[in-house]
Structure 1
Amino acid sequence: MHRRIGVILFGLAALSLVAAVGIGVIFGAREITDRINPECTVTVGEHTAKLQREQAENASLITAIARQRGMPARAASIALATAYQESDLYNIDHGDRDSIGLFQQRPSQGWGTEEQIMDPVYATNAFYDALAKVDGYESMVITEAAQEVQRSAFPGAYADHEDDARAIASALTGNSPEALTCRAPSSVDSADATLTSSGLTPRAETIRREVQERFGDQQVGGFAPGGVSEGHMEGSAHYDGRAVDVFFRPVNERNKVRGWAMAQYFVANAERLQVSTVIYDDRIWTARRSDEGWRDYDVPSSSGGDRAILEHRDHVHVDVFA
Structure 2
Amino acid sequence: MALPPPPEPWTGGRTGCTVPDPSGTGGCVTGATAWLVDQLTSGVGPRPVTCWSEHAWNPASDHPAGRGCDVFFGVAGQFPAGADLVDGWRVAQWLRAHAAALDVSYVIWQGRIWVADRAEQGWAPYTGGGVYDPGDATGGHYDHVHVSLRG
Q: Is the 8 A contact 1:266 1:275 kept in 2?
A: yes
CA shift for structure 1 position 242: 0.3
Residue of 202, 213, 237 corresponding to 2:62: 237
Corresponding residue of 1:309: 138
Which amino acid is the alignment partner of residue 106 of structure 2? T
Q: 1:80-103 CA distances to partner (integer Å, 9 max, x unpaired)?
A: xxxxxxxxxxxxxxxxxxxxxxxx
For the 8 Å contact 1:233–1:303, the answer to whether it is kept is no
Residue among 31, 50, 64 paired with 1:202? 31
1-structure distance, mates of 2:38, 2:58: 25
How far is the alpha carbon of 1:306 from its aligned partner? 8.9
Q: Post-superposition shift, 1:302?
A: 5.1
| Partner Cα separation in structure 1 for residue 107 and residue 95 of structure 2 | 7
8 Å Cα contact 1:201-1:241 kept in structure 2: yes
User: Residue 260 and residue 246 in structure 1: after superposition, are their counterparts in 2 closer, same or farther (change >3 A)?
Assistant: same
Gaps of 5+ in 1: 1-59, 66-119, 122-189
1:295 to partner: Cα distance: 0.6
Bigger radius of gyration, 1 or 2?
1
Percent identity for Structure 1 against Structure 2: 29
Q: Following the alignment from structure 2 to structure 1, what is the Cα–Cα distance between the partners of residues 100 and 134?
A: 32
Map of 1:267 onto structure 2: 96
Most deviating of 254-263 and 293-302: 293-302
Query: Among residues 104, 107, 124, which one is paired with 1:295 in the alignment?
Result: 124
> For residues 147-193 of structure 1, what are the alpha-carbon distances to aligned partners after superposition, in whole Å with 9 as ceiling and x for unaligned?
xxxxxxxxxxxxxxxxxxxxxxxxxxxxxxxxxxxxxxxxxxx7111
- Choose between structure 1 and 2: higher strand proportion: 2
In structure 2, the gaps of 5 or more residues are 8-12, 22-27
1:248 aligns with one of 53, 58, 73: 73
Q: Which residue of 1 aligns with 2:110?
A: 281
Query: Is the CA contact (8 Å cut-off) linking 1:207 and 1:244 kept in structure 2?
Result: no
Aligned equivalent of 1:223: 52
CA change 1:302–1:63 in 2 (3 A) is closer
Length-normalised TM-score, structure 1: 0.38
Higher RCO (CA-CA < 8 Å; seq separation 6+) = 2
Q: How many residues align?
A: 136
Q: Secondary structure at the match of 2:29?
A: coil
Q: For residues 62-117 of structure 1, give each alpha carbon's deviation from its aligned partner in whole angstroms, at most 9, with x where no partner exists.
A: 7426xxxxxxxxxxxxxxxxxxxxxxxxxxxxxxxxxxxxxxxxxxxxxxxxxxxx
TM-score by length of 2: 0.78
In the alignment, is the contact (CA less than 8 A) between 2:134 and 2:141 conserved in 1? no
Q: CA RMSD in A?
A: 2.8
Structure 1 residue 304: Cα displacement: 6.3
Deviation at 1:273, TM superposition (A): 1.1
Distance in 1 (alpha carbons) for counterparts of 2:121 and 2:133: 28
1:233, CA displacement in angstroms? 3.4
